[in-house]
Amino acid sequence: MPEYTSSDGEGVQIDLISGERMSKLRTMEKIRLILDGVHKGNIVILEEGLSPDEESKLIEVTMSEISPDEFTGIEIETYPRPSGGNGGFLGRLMGRDSDGGNKLTVIGPANRIETLHKDENLISALVTRK
């Protein structure tokens, strides 16, 4: 994935990954794509989320990679999008209509992202610098 480094070293990179890209990957390729981004301190947003089995595998692999000094794990929040309509902001951003039922998923480093509030319409998170 392309990476940008700000000149002042501040800021957070957010990777928005389309459902189309994820649909072409096998489970372990999806997990590596996500965890490689999170290991770099990025916030990863999946347009269509993961299946329950893929999410379980992501948690399993994450647990095996946790190291107190290097990688503290992930914070993951998912919510379903409403059926119909244009899929909201991300749907417009990605240039396509929502087919409903897909899940938007936000994943980030556990030491940099904290979920403040979550309901069926909103995920509110605080993202801190390293």
Q: Is residue 45 included in any domain, yes or no?
A: yes
Which residue, 42, 32, 45, 31, is CA-closest to 88? 45
Q: Is residue 42 included in any domain, yes or no?
A: yes
Q: Is residue 6 included in any domain, yes or no?
A: no
Give residue 44's identity as a one-letter amino acid code: V
Q: Is residue 31 included in any domain, yes or no?
A: yes
**Predicted TM-score (pTM) of this structure:** 0.76
Low-confidence ranges of the chain (pLDDT < 50): 7, 97-101
Question: pLDDT (tens digit, 9 = 90+) per residue, 25-49?
Answer: 999 999 999 999 999 999 999 999 8
Q: Determine the structural domain holding residue 122 and report its residue range.
A: 14-127
Q: What is the CATH number of the domain that holds 118?
A: 3.30.110
Q: Is residue 9 included in any domain, yes or no?
A: no
Q: Is residue 71 included in any domain, yes or no?
A: yes
- Give the chain's domain count: 1
